[in-house]
């Protein structure tokens, strides 16, 4: 296999928050202009910086991007995605508590959603999460 094969690439770790409100809806945000997949909907989060845990990175990113300070982040699933631009290891965490008001600091849009989601397009690396949420809902 050549060194340029997608699966040879070292993944970048990304912390992602699946925030639930009191009605059981989850938060999706659109990716800001200037980023890859701009305008696609995703769960909020971002890349880990050196020395950070997933929870620390998630707390920092959500303050920076959407203006809230999260409470505990419950590790949920880890999923690797290969994109042309990068290989990412997505660490999805469930979050049910936060302080502060939502403020889209990068000009994104936000949507509290239920299944099936009504926003589009959804980021490819976000789609598996919707399947997992549907599986959990079916198991209730
Ligand atoms: N936040 C988030 N990122 C996701 C999801 N699914 C998915 O494939 N990704 C990918 C898209 C990006 O390649 C990567 C996140 O990187 P990013 O560029 O948004 O992160 P960042 O805010 O740290 O970006 P930057 O400061 O380096 O511009 O993870 C998701 O549900 N949420």
Ligand 1 pocket test, pick from 13, 44, 46 with the greatest ligand atom count within 8 Å of Cβ, gives: 46
Quote the ipTM score.
0.94
- Cα 37 from chain centre: 13
CA-closest residue to ligand 1 atom 32: 43
pLDDT for the residue numbered 120: 98
Each residue's pLDDT tens digit in the chain (140 positions)? Answer: 444 555 578 999 999 999 999 999 999 999 999 999 999 999 999 999 999 999 999 999 999 999 999 999 999 999 999 999 999 999 999 999 999 999 999 999 999 999 999 999 999 999 999 999 999 999 86
> Please, what sign has the CA dihedral across residues 19, 22, 26, 30?
negative
Residue 64 Cα, ligand 1 centroid: separation in angstroms? 13
- Our answer on whether the CB atom of 86 is closer than 6 Å to any ligand 1 atom is yes
CA distances from 122 to 21, 22, 100 (A): 20, 23, 26
Residue 44 Cα, ligand 1 centroid: separation in angstroms? 8
CA-closest residue to ligand 1 atom 6: 125
- Our answer on whether the CB atom of 19 is closer than 6 Å to any ligand 1 atom is no
Q: Which CATH superfamily hosts domain 6-139?
A: Nucleoside Triphosphate Pyrophosphohydrolase (3.90.79.10)
Beta carbons of 57 and 106 less than 8 angstroms apart: no
């Amino acid at each position: 296999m050549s060194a340029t094969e997608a699966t040879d690439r070292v993944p970048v770790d990304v912390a992602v928050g699946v925030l639930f409100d009191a009605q059981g809806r989850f938060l999706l945000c659109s990716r800001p202009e200037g980023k890859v997949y701009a305008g696609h909907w995703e769960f909020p989060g971002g890349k880990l910086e050196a020395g950070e845990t997933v929870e620390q990175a998630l707390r920092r990113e959500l303050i920076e991007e959407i203006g809230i300070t999260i409470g505990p982040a419950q590790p949920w699933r880890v999923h690797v995605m290969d994109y042309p631009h990068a290989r990412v290891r997505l660490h999805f965490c469930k979050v049910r508590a936060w302080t502060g008001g939502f403020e889209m600091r990068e000009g994104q849009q936000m949507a509290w959603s239920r299944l099936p989601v009504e926003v589009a397009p959804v980021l490819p690396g976000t789609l598996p999460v919707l399947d997992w949420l549907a599986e959990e809902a079916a198991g209730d």
